[in-house]
């Protein structure tokens, strides 16, 4: 049985990315410019704005801090008296992210998120955070249930990514169409176009390169955009250009994030580089990101190989 089909609210009722005091803040976050996002959040902190925009500013502030690994700050903000449900949800996510070796703590974070969902039925921010955590935990159905109504453009964007993970390119394309109907020039619509173009294959990956170049010219390169560029080039078979994008990621940024490491391994394999070049990256992945799906898959394969090898071991 295929995935259940969901229908979103009318486009006219979506929470649009209309220009307002948070327009640049949102764009910087979605583009992966987390330090710039923090700077923008601080710069606009004293501007008069509606309570809803003030709360959204705080949410993006905490999300950017979490993306930079500042989990303690997010947990502290969530524990503060009077913290909103959306900030509490982000605190649950921060706890989940820092509890990779503690299954009990991870489960408690998930349970607390479920409680927040029940107590704040219809809160788009709580639903969005829950969807992110559920996806990381492999709870794809539960994640989709959080965002399937498409009450905001971020919900539609996450639904698109979930459908791509499910290998339902047709349903992802429908979500992209909804993003474009709402605001074709929005950052989320352009990123959605990139994801779908890469997933479609070599026939459209060149379109992804064009979109990424446009966004990079407008907002500047980021780890996210450079990794998307590398992925696009690899789908096109241009592994030298992919390597250049990954080299730029390492020179301009830390280059130690999981996406850059995984994409470098894949790129090097396609280029025929030996294990002398690849092994150090694999070790970095296994030590720094042991719970990432790539590392866990690698460990399963290595374990299976070792078990098989023992069957053919010749006694000395």
Using the structure block, give the residue that is written with the tokens 């379109």. Answer: 207
Cβ(202)–Cβ(237) below 8 Å: yes
Residue 2: which pLDDT band, with cuts at 50, 70 and 90? Answer: very low
Cβ(71)–Cβ(61) below 8 Å: no
Closest listed residue to residue 148, CA positions, set 171, 182, 181, 118: 171
Residue 12: which pLDDT band, with cuts at 50, 70 and 90? Answer: very low
pLDDT in tens, 202-212: 999 999 999 99
Contacts 24+ apart (CB under 8 A), 137-145: 137/96, 137/106, 137/110, 140/165, 140/166, 144/3, 144/6
| Token pair of 126 as six digits | 């709580």
- pLDDT value at position 315? 64
Higher pLDDT, 256 or 57: 57
pLDDT in tens, 177-193: 999 999 999 999 999 99
pTM for the structure as a whole: 0.88
Q: CB neighbours of 115 closer than 8 A, spacing ≥ 6?
A: none
Distance CA 163, CA 196 (A): 10
Query: Over pLDDT 90: what percentage of the chain?
Result: 76
Using the structure block, give the residue that is written with the tokens 């500047």. Answer: 220
- pLDDT value at position 264? 96
Residue 65: which pLDDT band, with cuts at 50, 70 and 90? Answer: very high
3-class secondary structure, 182: helix
| Token pair of 304 as six digits | 């299976």
pLDDT in tens, 106-153: 999 999 999 999 998 889 999 999 999 999 999 999 999 999 998 899
- pLDDT value at position 316? 59
- pLDDT value at position 147? 96
3-class secondary structure, 15: strand
Residue 19: which pLDDT band, with cuts at 50, 70 and 90? Answer: low
Angle at 272 between CA 266 and CA 275, to 5 degrees: 75
Cβ(197)–Cβ(208) below 8 Å: yes
- pLDDT value at position 139? 95
- pLDDT value at position 7? 36
Q: Which residues in the chain belong to E strands, given as ranges?
A: none
């Amino acid at each position: 049985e295929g995935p259940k089909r969901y229908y979103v609210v009318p486009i006219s009722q979506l929470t649009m990315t209309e220009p307002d005091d948070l327009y640049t803040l949102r764009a910087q976050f979605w583009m992966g410019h987390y330090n710039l996002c923090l700077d923008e959040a601080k710069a606009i902190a004293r501007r008069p704005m509606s309570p809803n925009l003030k709360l959204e500013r705080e949410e993006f502030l905490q999300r950017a801090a979490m993306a930079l690994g500042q989990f303690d700050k997010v947990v502290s903000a969530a524990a503060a008296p009077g913290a909103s449900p959306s900030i509490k949800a982000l605190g649950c996510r921060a706890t989940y992210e820092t509890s990779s070796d503690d299954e009990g703590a991870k489960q408690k974070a998930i349970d607390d998120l479920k409680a927040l969902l029940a107590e704040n039925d219809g809160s788009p921010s709580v639903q969005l955070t829950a969807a992110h955590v559920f996806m990381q935990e492999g709870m794809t159905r539960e994640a989709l249930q959080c965002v399937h109504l498409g009450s905001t453009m971020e919900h539609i964007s996450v639904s698109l990514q979930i459908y791509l993970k499910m290998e339902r390119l047709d349903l992802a394309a429908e979500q992209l169409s909804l993003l474009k109907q709402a605001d074709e020039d929005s950052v989320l619509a352009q990123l959605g176009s990139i994801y779908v173009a890469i997933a479609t294959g070599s026939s459209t990956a060149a379109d992804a390169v064009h979109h990424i170049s446009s966004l990079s010219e407008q907002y500047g390169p980021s780890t996210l955009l450079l990794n998307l560029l590398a992925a696009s080039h690899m789908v096109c078979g241009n592994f030298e250009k992919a390597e250049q994008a990954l080299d730029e990621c390492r020179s301009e940024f830390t280059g130690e994030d999981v996406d850059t490491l995984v994409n470098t391994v894949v790129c090097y394999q396609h280029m025929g580089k030996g294990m002398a070049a690849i092994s150090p990256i694999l070790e970095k992945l296994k030590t720094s990101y042991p719970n990432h799906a790539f590392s866990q898959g690698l460990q399963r394969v290595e374990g299976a190989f070792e078990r098989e090898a023992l069957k053919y071991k010749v006694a000395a």
